[in-house]
Amino acid sequence: MTIYRKLILGSAASLLAIGAAQAADLPVKAKAVEYVRICSLYGAGFFYIPGTDTCIKLGGYLRVDTTFNGGAHGAPAWSGDLGQQNRFRDQFVSRSRMALAIDTRTATEYGVVRTFGQGDFQFNNFGSTNPAGSVGSQTSGLSSSLLSTAGGGYVAVEFLFIQFAGFTFGKSASAYASPWHGAPGNINSNLLGGHVTDTGVNNIQYEAQFGNGVSGTVGLEDPTVWNRTAVYNLGIPSAIGANGTGSSAYGGAVAPDVVGRIRIDQAWGLFQLSGRAHLVNASYNTLAAGAVPNNLSEISGHPDSKWGGSVMAALQIKNIPTGKGDDIKIDVSYAKGATKQVISTSGSSPSFAMFGDSSFGYQSVGFGATTDAVYLPGAAGTGGLKLTTAWGIRGAFNHNWDPNWSTSLFGSYSAVSYDGGANDNINGVGTSSAKGAYCAAFAASHGGQAAVGNQVGNYTCNPDFNVSQLGAVTRWTPVKNLTFSAEVQWFHLDQKMSGSSVFTASAPKPNALYEFKDQDTFLLQVRAQRNF
């Protein structure tokens, strides 16, 4: 028994020794790593990138739009197949988009260093089935088959910028812009009447804070994307086409746009005054059809460049007595040689070609050519660039019925005018003013003016035009960050041509008698959007 007892005790001691040795070999439990740490310095949603002192926020939205009798994102039926109301038009179009934004901020001895970028992953029907028509927004080398086929789509780049010590470098909103751009209350991206750079323009700007809500910003901007419409050389063959428009003879970028603003932000709202200088420069006097250069272009000379520009005043009034969160937003713009600052959308500036019913002709038509300037080379020409004048006003009243329902009423009015008169002339040639030169080119492609019946002698040429818009949108937000919207809009083209003309309109329209007449159109846009 003694022997067995000693054997058992010895075995137990050995096992305890082995266990203690194995326990000594186990790693010591480390403190838990804080992989996500909230960054409260810059608002909700920011967290520290692990291992750094940089805060980052991921966000964006998913949005689905459908427009009836209009283009994507609420463009009225003001040109193309939609403007013609022919059988190639899409009577509705839908667009699905997911916007993904990345915002980073780092505190430094110079202040906060910020970077921001946003990409839009989207799919929509991009254009007409008309083989003679171009795919909307299609650029050289970009196949329409990649955009509007099953499994297609594309990525659009919006803002991409760096901010440091008051400076902003990159693709950001213009220093000229109001906070609401072209959307004082609407959900569409096509409310004319003022400036829009809501997806960013390449620029450098500096903002100074003067205290008490007063700030000033100056900047230099790339003029080619957001700040140009067109320059017409009215001396080229077929300078004005069937739809009253021509090809742009703009030269290359020579000088940046110089912009600035003064803004006052207060509890009652804000007031802002902005200004812009824009250089209008043409290519050559001699160009082939379509404003294409030829071997005589360089030796033909060119008109002198001219500085144009624009001014804008913007006002927001908050805390109005109609309800909590209600406000009024309004801006007024004037431009000379910078029509993009008035006839502006979130894309290119439209020219207008709308068809409707006529009491005596095949159909009626309304034209509106959007330009920064026109010129006619030669001794009997315009004597250089003639800058186009434009002005506009737009605004909205925004009302919250309750936390879940809201309505906005919005509208705009814009006017574009060309200097001189249709019969201004040198030595009997009606070409000495912008209007005279345009009307001479228009007559060359619309030669059958006032051809029949009681319309004889009633034809007059005037390329000036006005456009009006009026609409309403109602939004329902059943849960936070999910909103359903429905918007109706009326668009009116007040064109200044009168009488009629026999001409060959763009296919599929025939050669026929067309009455010049004001035009109207309506659209409905519905949207579902989830912010995150």
pLDDT in tens, 384-424: 999 999 999 999 999 999 999 999 999 999 999 999 987 77
Determine phi and psi for 121, rounding to 5 degrees: -90, 115
pLDDT confidence band for 63 (50 / 70 / 90):
very high
- Higher local confidence (pLDDT), 427 or 83: 83
Determine phi and psi for 45, rounding to 5 degrees: 95, -10
**Alpha-carbon gap, residue 437 to 213, rounded angstroms:** 49
pLDDT confidence band for 249 (50 / 70 / 90):
very high
Of 389, 384, 523, 395, nearest to 465 (Cα)? 389
pLDDT > 70: percent of the chain = 86
In the predicted model, is pLDDT for residue 35 greater than 80?
no
In the predicted model, is pLDDT for residue 18 greater than 90?
no
Q: Where are the domains of the chain?
A: 71-96+184-199+208-531
Sheet holding 352-356, edge to edge: 352-356, 363-368, 511-516, 500-504, 448-449
Joined tokens for residue 517: 């007449």
Q: Which residues of 75-111 are buried (b: 16+ CB within 10 A; e: fewer)?
A: bbbbbbbbbbebebbbeebebebbbbbebbbbeeeee
Q: Which SS3 state, helix, strand or coil, does residue 9 take? A: helix
pLDDT confidence band for 431 (50 / 70 / 90):
confident
Report, as an integer, the average pLDDT of 154-172. 95
Report, as an integer, the average pLDDT of 288-297. 96
Q: Which helix (H) or strand (E) holds 450?
A: none
- Higher local confidence (pLDDT), 432 or 332: 332
Cα dist from 523 to 68, 323, 324, 466, 481, whole Å: 6, 29, 30, 19, 26
CB 274 within 8 A of CB 307: no
**Alpha-carbon gap, residue 464 to 439, rounded angstroms:** 11
In the predicted model, is pLDDT for residue 450 greater than 80?
no
Report, as an integer, the average pLDDT of 366-372. 98
- Span of 120-134, 291-305, 449-463, 516-530 with lowest mean pLDDT: 120-134
Report, as an integer, the average pLDDT of 55-80. 95
Report, as an integer, the average pLDDT of 57-63. 97
Of 402, 405, 393, nearest to 473 (Cα)? 405
Q: ∠ at Cα 245 (450, 390), nearest 5°?
A: 100
**pLDDT value of residue 28:** 55
pLDDT tens track for 112-149 = 999 999 999 988 755 555 555 544 333 344 455 556 66
- Higher local confidence (pLDDT), 30 or 326: 326
In the predicted model, is pLDDT for residue 61 greater than 60?
yes
**Alpha-carbon gap, residue 250 to 139, rounded angstroms:** 18
pLDDT tens track for 197-220 = 999 999 999 999 999 999 999 999
Average pLDDT, the chain: 89
**pLDDT value of residue 20:** 47
Q: Which helix (H) or strand (E) holds 387?
A: strand 386-387
pTM: 0.88
pLDDT > 90: percent of the chain = 79
pLDDT confidence band for 225 (50 / 70 / 90):
confident
Q: Which residues of 225-236 are buried (b: 16+ CB within 10 A; e: fewer)?
A: bbbbbbbbbbbb
Strands 448-449 and 47-48: unpaired
**pLDDT value of residue 379:** 86
In the predicted model, is pLDDT for residue 97 greater than 90?
yes
DSSP 115: E
Name every residue whose Cβ is closer than 8 Å to that of residue 54 and which is 6 or more positions away in sequence. Answer: 48, 104, 105, 106
**pLDDT value of residue 126:** 53
**pLDDT value of residue 157:** 92
CB 215 within 8 A of CB 265: yes
**Alpha-carbon gap, residue 277 to 308, rounded angstroms:** 6
